[in-house]
Structure 1
Amino acid sequence: MKEERLFSLRNPWFVVSAGGTALIAILSILVGFVWLPSVHSDFTANGLWGAICSAAGAPSSWYKGGDNVADAPPSNVVVLPPLGIARVNAVSSGRGATLATQRCSMCHGVQSPAGVTAPFLAGQYADVIYKELRDFQSGARQNAIMQPIIASLSDQDMHDVAEYYSSQSRVVQATAADGHDDSVARVLSMQGAPIRNIAPCAACHGVLDRKGAAPWLGGQSAPYLATQLRSFAAGNRHNDIDEQMRNVARQLRPEEIDSLAKYYAAQP
């Protein structure tokens, strides 16, 4: 009895197996490169080659230099609210008010917002303010104005300032961004963009959840927020824990940064 060759069109098992494999491959190509891009623009936001590499878990470009690229180290200040390390009470808040009036009020205000290039601190979380002061003082976050002003502050002084500002009511002044309702920014804020590895802003900054030392963004000025996002994206600001903000900001398009800044500026 003559045996049928395995790889032969006369072998029905080989025909069915090969045909099924080819059909699955064709369907996968149609779904991955025709249907998904047509219903989800983020899928091909970085180009077709970027989409292929992303699906395969490989980088779309490789560093070809001879030396390793050293990024700036992240901040090593982790603050878990509530702040219980320092003595925080009415006396502490009073000392913080004095320090805020003397050193902070020109740019950040005392009880209400002051400018558009500096963050509004009234009503901000104490752990956020304390962490940023620590990072400015250590040099993890660079600013030519902030570092000389707070260089001589003690750890208790920074706790006092943080406690004072956090005890104030948030005062949101009318801005040009009032009434801004951008559906793209709203989706990024509440849902993120999973295909581009962008987590929802609200998961760390409030509404959905809040992580320690993540600031409340509502009511901050749009120019300030946009500047910080671009600084994170460029790596000029690097005091985020485990590069969380840098990883998100690098994936945002310029128009998305502007939309998110205006969106949060309009929030209470």
Structure 2
Amino acid sequence: MNGDNGDRLTSVRNRWTVTSVLVTAAVFLIALLLGFVLLPRLEAGEQVAGIWDSICRAAGLPRRGEPSETVMPNYKTSLVKITSAVPRGRNEDAIGRGATLAQQCAICHGPTGVSRADSPNLAGQYASVIYKQLRDFKDGVRVNAVMTPFAVKLSERDMQDLAAYYSYLPRLPGFHPGGNPAPRIVVSGAPTRGIAPCGSCHGSIENKLGSPWLEGQSELYLKTQLEAFVSGSRQNDISSQMRNVARAMTPEEIDEAARYYANQPPPYLAAE
């Protein structure tokens, strides 16, 4: 196939072939300079940088003189392995020892694990949850003026026994009359904001290992913990999951979820 001047299109004597090759090469060189030299310098805010350093920065490789140490978070992370945190079988001896230890906890968490002081209810809570929180308090991953001094004195066996005892106690059931439907954030979440339904981790729909049972907890406690995840003052959630969820929730959704889970029957109904 020949061009208008009789030269083959692939021939170096064809001016259109030569022009297209030169234009392509020029575009490639300009893109190379922009992507590997100019933009990395602007992003780093540097006045002078070598071409090789700019290429390394653009490729995500360490540059000369940069520290090679792993960057560590400025806060402690949980050391608990949920899958092996507590024994799966029921241990009567552990429950008995836990009942003795729990006498020290009764002033805040109630003699039967049901609090009257806006502290969390521990009766019927999952053993893995109780163990994880105690261990996180002990390790300084979660900090509280009351719980931290108590937890640092606990041995591994103490934490296992307390978890066994409280998980053995009957938990408060949910109380949600038909005229009081669950808020959307609990049953449906907010998919467009990356929020799964609360019930998919915390019961009613499904339970995710390590996620606490929320039914019957204090409204003030639930709201306080969600706000702590929002502010980052609580950071012991696994893979930042609760921080990400709480930060995507609106203040109204936080109030609705806390109110819904805290709902309990009036005393005259509970006594029947």
Please, what TM-score do these two structures have when normalized by structure 1? Answer: 0.66
- Distance apart, 1:120 and its partner CA: 0.3
Helix, strand or coil at the partner of 2:248? coil
1:116-172 deviation line (CA, Å, top 9, x unaligned): 431000111111000000000000001011111121111011000010011001146
Are 1:97 and 2:99 an aligned pair? Answer: yes
- For residues 193 and 164 of structure 2, what CA distance do their matches in structure 1 show? 37
Q: Residue by residue, what CA displacement relative to the aligned partner does 1:190-238 show, whole Å, maximum 9, x if unpaired?
A: 2110111111111111122211110000000100000000000100000
The 8 Å contact of residues 204 and 210 in structure 1, kept in 2 or not, is answered as yes
Match of 1:11 in 2: none
SS in 1 for 2:116: coil
Which AA in structure 1 matches 2:189? Answer: G
DSSP-derived class of the 1:80 partner: helix
**Aligned 8 A contact 1:222 1:265 in 2:** yes
Report how far residue 81 of structure 1 moved: 6.7
2:158 equivalent in structure 1? 157
The answer to whether the 8 Å contact 1:123/1:170 transfers is yes
The match for 1:134 is: 135
Between 1 and 2, higher relative CO (CA 8 Å, sep ≥ 6) is seen in 1
Q: CA RMSD in A?
A: 3.0
Q: Is 118-127 or 107-116 further displaced after alignment?
A: 107-116
Q: What is the one-letter code of the residue matched to 2:237? A: D
SS at match of 1:250: helix
Contact 1:128 1:214 survives alignment (8 Å): yes
Aligned to 1:199: 196
Contact conserved, 2:174 with 2:264, CA < 8 A, in 1?
Answer: no
Q: Which structure 2 residue ranges, 5 or more long, are not aligned? A: 1-70, 266-272
- Could you tell me how far 1:189 is from its partner in structure 2? 1.0
Q: Give the AA of the match of 1:220.
A: Q
> Is the Cα contact below 8 Å between 1:77 and 1:131 reproduced in 2?
yes
Alignment-derived partner of residue 79 in structure 1 = 82
Partners of 1:233 and 1:69 lie apart in 2 by: 22
What TM-score, normalized by structure 2, do the two folds share? 0.65
Provide the residue aligned with 1:143 in structure 2.
144
Over 3 Å counting, the alpha-carbon distance change for 1:166 and 1:69 in structure 2 is closer
- Greater alpha carbon shift after TM alignment, 70-79 vs 193-202: 70-79
CA deviation after TM superposition for structure 1 residue 115, in Å: 2.4
CA distance in 2 between partners of 1:104 and 1:219 (Å): 18
Per the alignment, residue 232 of structure 1 pairs with 229
SS at match of 2:233: coil
Taking the aligned partners of 2:159 and 2:130, their CA distance within structure 1 comes to 8
Q: Which residue type is aligned with residue 75 of structure 2?
A: A
Say whether the 8 Å CA contact 2:114–2:121 is kept in structure 1. yes
Percent identity of the aligned residues?
48
Q: 1:194 to 1:132 in 2, by over 3 A?
A: same
**Equivalent position amino acid for 1:94 in 2:** G
Query: After TM superposition, what 4+ stretches of structure 1 lie above 6 angstroms from structure 2?
Result: none
Would the aligned equivalents of 2:129 and 2:211 in 1 still touch at CA under 8 Å?
yes
Aligned to 2:187: 190
CA contact (8 A) 1:113 1:172 kept: no
Query: Which is further off, 123-132 or 196-205?
Result: 196-205
Q: Does 1:167 find its partner at 2:164?
A: no
Aligned residue for 2:256?
A: 259
Pair member with larger Rg: 2
Q: CA deviation at 1:256?
A: 1.2
